[in-house]
Amino acid sequence: MTDLFSKFDGLIEQRRALLDTGVTDPFNLVMERVLSPTQAICNGRETILLGTYNYMGMTFDPDVIDAGKKALDEFGSGTTGSRVLNGTYAGHKLCEDALKEFYGMDHAMVFSTGYQANLGIISTIAGKGDYIVLDIDSHASIWDGCKMGDAEVVPFKHNDIVAMEKRLKRIPEGAGKLVVLEGVYSMLGDIAPLKEMIKVAKDNGAMVLVDEAHSMGFIGPNGRGVAEEQGCLEDVDFVIGTFSKSVGTVGGFCVSNHPKFEIMRLVCRPYVFTASLPPSVVHTAATSIRKLMHAGNKRAHLWENSRTLHKGLKDKGFQLGTDEPQSAIISVIMPDLERGAMMWEALLREGLYVNLARPPATPANMTLLRCSLCAEHSAEQVQTIIGMFERAGKAVGII
């Protein structure tokens, strides 16, 4: 018998070697209690959260929590069914109505996660004989959506408009084309030049899907994302998003103006063949999305936090993923996995949680300490965070 686990031996060995150095397992942390969007108890210690994607701090919003509690009482704990059978409740419709209004689009479809939204929409709309042209740094859910469908998959160099155009021009005449982009790329926190890229896509007869998971609620005058910020949202055929970041719960969605979009509800397997989100989740999401429409002050404060942290870390000598802050993600580049893990642990001992990101999730084999800011971080907390980075960075010998 061949042990089917032997393919993981390299990774098992690498993990053992890392833990043998005595560092805490960075992928096994338990949040023992969560006090607020920016604070939790980890290892018995009060810890500032700087790696949650909880950009707008909606997880503890009193209206959001009330909506969830009320839905639990009125609709029970779960739907026990698919959206196309017994699993469409009033709350799912409330969510879809809120999304249509939020994006100013005709159609909205709620999935159980953002991962499933990408998986479902990409694998369903791009079929046999079609081509998907996508950024090489795309999220795993986008790659998995490509893998699940039957289309030809053509990647191009990250954010490279010329490379994208070359790939598009090589596609045989008459084939269907889907260009897949992200507003914010979550590893380095950089944004895409969507306006130029979408123009090239359209000039070459492609439909465009943009994953705005990391920009919803924050980027753009109404928080609709990078496409809104750059004035090209009308040219996007499909926006994919998630409830697991700014919305502050769990779930995924696609919004679109395509006149035939509703047929997706019958043909998209990751929508049909899985249970729908629980009532408490969709009611919290709908309430949160509506509040995000009027969150201009929070957006302004989050930008302030992003600029302060970026400048503070850069001034202390850290190497960052972008020259200027482009989103609410500030990535700190580590020299290697071992020192990355040491730094991660030193920060945790200081009372700060960030994400340790490593290949294959990261581009160019980088080890990153990824910080995601929240609109609820106070200016004082951001200064505290910079101090923690400075002490930990000196202790580990990174600065």
| 139 contributes a contact to ligand PMP by CB under 6 A | yes
Are 65 and 43 a contacting pair, CB within 8 Å? no
Distance in angstroms (rounded) separating the CA atoms of residues 99 and 101: 5
Q: How far is the CB of 118 from ligand PMP (least distance, A)?
A: 6
The 175-204 site mask, x for binding ligand PMP (CB under 6 A), equals -------x---x------------------
Are 226 and 194 a contacting pair, CB within 8 Å? yes
| 227 contributes a contact to ligand PMP by CB under 6 A | no
Nearer to ligand PMP, 23 or 164 (CB): 164
Q: How far is the CB of 216 from ligand PMP (least distance, A)?
A: 11
Q: How far is the CB of 141 from ligand PMP (least distance, A)?
A: 5
Are 187 and 160 a contacting pair, CB within 8 Å? no
Please report, for residues 187, 318, 323, 337, the alpha-carbon distance to residue 367 in angstroms, rounded to integers and kept in the order given. 10, 13, 18, 6
| 52 contributes a contact to ligand PMP by CB under 6 A | no
SS3 category, 383: helix
Nearer to ligand PMP, 118 or 222 (CB): 118
Distance in angstroms (rounded) separating the CA atoms of residues 115 and 213: 10
Nearer to ligand PMP, 88 or 186 (CB): 186
Nearer to ligand PMP, 197 or 396 (CB): 197
Nearer to ligand PMP, 250 or 386 (CB): 250
Are 373 and 300 a contacting pair, CB within 8 Å? no
Q: How far is the CB of 244 from ligand PMP (least distance, A)?
A: 4
The string over 13-41, giving b where at least 16 C-beta atoms fall within 10 Å of a residue's C-beta and e elsewhere, is: eeeeebeeeebeebeebeeeebeebbbbe
Nearer to ligand PMP, 187 or 352 (CB): 187
Residue 324 carries which DSSP code? S
Please report, for residues 170, 277, 336, 344, 356, the alpha-carbon distance to residue 18 in angstroms, rounded to integers and kept in the order given. 45, 38, 12, 13, 13
Where in 79-118 is the site for ligand PMP (CB under 6 A)? 113-115, 118
Kindly tell me which residue out of 61, 135, 190, 211 binds ligand PMP, with binding defined by CB under 6 A: 211
Distance in angstroms (rounded) separating the CA atoms of residues 283 and 188: 32
Q: How far is the CB of 114 from ligand PMP (least distance, A)?
A: 3
The 231-260 site mask, x for binding ligand PMP (CB under 6 A), equals -----------x-x-------x--------
| Cα 62 versus chain centre, distance | 24
**Which residue number is nearest to ligand PMP in terms of Cβ?**
114
Element (H, E) at 380: helix 379-396
Nearer to ligand PMP, 52 or 113 (CB): 113
| 279 contributes a contact to ligand PMP by CB under 6 A | no
Distance in angstroms (rounded) separating the CA atoms of residues 189 and 325: 8
Nearer to ligand PMP, 361 or 386 (CB): 361
Residues that bind ligand PMP (CB under 6 A): 113-115, 118, 139, 141, 182, 186, 211, 213, 242, 244, 252
